[in-house]
């Protein structure tokens, strides 16, 4: 998705060889025009899949999920990382190790919201090693529902999350795929492949 790649190039900050900061348009401040295009792009790719729910983790997955869900005309659910006083024990639970925070969070979703007949699209802002993705998968499995696929805004293709998911037979749709952050610059997978074939 060209507008997303442009935002990453112009407004993203490469913090290290493995971490990209996108607080100016996705993770802290949100660019409404861009997030709308992101949501529309996912909805277009999954429109024929009979999706009944969109699922993400708070907080960075919420903005794109809201737009996808709006376009697909289905509810979206965000798994909670912190216990809420209003949440009873009637929850599905899973443990997720955070790549950026380097801590494990228990994520929960109310059993009232996900059911065995649901066809679920999982959305997240980044895919690195797949911990968040598999944690959300576990929740869907506990409900007896089906994971239809993953919509990832930014995939770091040099980490093994995509491979782990596709090896299990899951469909993964990423709007920007990053080959590397070498020398502080973002190299996208498609540009890298084009260069190799020249
Ligand atoms: P994974 O669970 O696939 O290892 O990592 C994905 C999760 O970690 C995402 O939910 C995202 O919040 C966070 N994450 C992973 N890599 C990055 C990164 O380079 N930048 C930012 N801002 N978040 C990341």
Which domains does the chain carry?
Answer: 2-197 (3.40.50.2020)
Mean pLDDT of 42-48: 98
Percent of the chain with pLDDT over 70: 95
How many Å from the N-terminal Cα to the C-terminal Cα in the chain?
A: 22
Taking the centre of ligand 1 as the mean of its atom positions, its distance from the CA of residue 129, in whole angstroms, is 8
Which H, E and C letters describe 3-64, residue by residue? HHHHHHHHHCEECCCCCEECHHHHHCCCCHHHHHHHHHHHHHHHCCCCCCEEEEECCCCHHH
Mean pLDDT (the chain) is 95
pLDDT in tens, 161-195: 999 999 999 999 999 999 999 889 999 999 877 66
Short-list 55, 58, 64, 175, CA closest to 120: 55
Which of 12, 128, 174 is the pocket-test mutation for ligand 1 (most atoms within 8 Å of CB)? Answer: 128
In this predicted structure, the answer to whether residue 198 has a pLDDT above a threshold of 90 is: no
pLDDT at residue 84 greater than cutoff 80:
no
Residue carrying the six token digits 């950026």: 100
CA neighbor of 185 nearest in space, from 58, 5, 24, 39: 5
Q: What is the mean pLDDT of residues 45-62?
A: 97
List Cα–Cα distances, 174 to 41, 87, 89, 145, 152, in angstroms. Answer: 10, 32, 34, 23, 5
Query: What is this structure's pTM?
Result: 0.95
Answer whether 24 contacts ligand 1 (Cβ < 6 A).
Answer: no
CA-CA distance, 198 to 196, in Å (whole number)?
6
């Amino acid at each position: 998705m060209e507008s997303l790649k442009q935002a990453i190039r112009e407004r993203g900050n490469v913090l290290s060889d493995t971490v990209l900061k996108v607080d100016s348009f996705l993770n802290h401040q949100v660019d409404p025009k861009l997030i709308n295009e992101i949501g529309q792009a996912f909805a277009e790719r999954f429109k024929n899949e009979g999706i009944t729910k969109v699922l993400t983790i708070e907080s960075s997955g919420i903005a794109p999920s809201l737009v996808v869900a709006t376009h697909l005309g289905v509810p979206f659910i965000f798994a909670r990382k912190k216990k809420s006083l209003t949440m009873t024990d009637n929850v599905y639970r899973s443990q997720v190790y955070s790549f950026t925070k380097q801590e494990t969070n228990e994520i929960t979703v109310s059993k009232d919201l996900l059911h065995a007949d649901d066809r679920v699209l999982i959305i997240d802002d980044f895919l690195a090693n797949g911990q968040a993705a598999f944690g959300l998968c576990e929740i869907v499995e506990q409900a007896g529902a089906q994971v239809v696929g993953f919509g990832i805004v930014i995939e770091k293709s040099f980490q093994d999350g995509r491979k782990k998911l596709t090896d299990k037979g899951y469909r993964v749709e990423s709007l920007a795929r990053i080959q590397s952050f070498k020398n502080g610059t973002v190299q996208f997978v498609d540009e890298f492949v084009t260069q190799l074939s020249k």
